[in-house]
Amino acid sequence: MIKKILIFSVFAALVTGAAFVLGLDKEVKKGKVTYAQGRVQRKPSDQDLWHRAPVNTEVLSGDKVRTFKESLAELNLAELDVIRLAPITTVDIVKLYQESKDKRAETAIVVDSGDLWADIHEIDKDTKFDISTGIASAAITGTTLRINVLPDSVTTLKVYKGEVHFTNAPEKSSLTPKSIKPHQVKGPHQIQGPHEVSLKEWLYIVKSMQQITVDNKGKVVSVGSFSLSDKDEQKDWVRWNLKRDSLRVSRLGK
């Protein structure tokens, strides 16, 4: 009898251990709101209504998050990466470190509108991290960046550190990448009015302190360098992000 009980106990322990390991393998990766100022809301993937999203609110694949006027939000994604939302910004967390068919952990975030800041850890061959808008997609390799999407969908990408592959044809891998020559970006200027043209597919490599702007048709309208002394970089939004990044580096001991 004692022998039977002992055998059953060992079997139960093995089953429990296996279940624990399998549970870890299938663990759902979660993000968390780590800063919320003003009105911040989250819409779960299985609901139609938006809900308040205070600090410590969990964020999962398929969720949307938005901020309102005079509001800010910071999301820590699975304790690896950080994204921040400026006032009047909406993002869609399409995927959050989900395992793909080729066994890569994929993250995909869509900026519907507004201004997004991202501080992403170094990406390896087993990981894919994309941030996109309605007209272009940025493949992250380990970067600090900012993507601004205007109401008319005009998109500007700025890379503060690292390198980003930016394209209007994310499904294509045969495009020849173009490098941005370091020169100052010109200010606003008159562009040609609406006219029908065939969309030219492109892929740019955007490096540290470089930027690129794409119009609402997916056409590149300006490329070049920028400086932290530029007027746009003096905004409270940029200064806040740089401060948060510095605090994060100190906390992680980098």
Residue 8 domain-assigned (yes or no): no
Q: How many domains does the chain have?
A: 1
Residue 13 domain-assigned (yes or no): no
Mean pLDDT of 84-110: 92
CATH number of the CATH domain containing 68: 2.60.120.1440
Residue 16 domain-assigned (yes or no): no
* pLDDT tens by residue, 28-77: 678 999 999 999 999 999 999 999 999 999 999 999 999 999 999 999 99
Residue 212 domain-assigned (yes or no): yes
* pLDDT tens by residue, 146-160: 999 999 999 999 999
Q: Across all residues in the chain, what is the average pLDDT?
A: 85
Mean pLDDT of 97-111: 88
68-102: string of b/e by CB count within 10 Å (b at 16+)? Answer: eeebbbbbbbbeebbbbbbbebbbbbbbbbeeeee
**pLDDT for the residue 191:** 43
- Is the pTM above the cut of 0.85? no
Name the residue range of residue 80's domain.
Answer: 29-185+198-252
Residue 19 domain-assigned (yes or no): no
Residue 6 domain-assigned (yes or no): no
Residue 22 domain-assigned (yes or no): no
Residue 244 domain-assigned (yes or no): yes
For residue 188, pLDDT beyond 50: no
For residue 135, pLDDT beyond 80: yes
For residue 194, pLDDT beyond 80: no
**pLDDT for the residue 220:** 95
Higher pLDDT, 19 or 32: 32
Task: Output phi, psi for 176, to 5 deg.
Answer: -85, 120
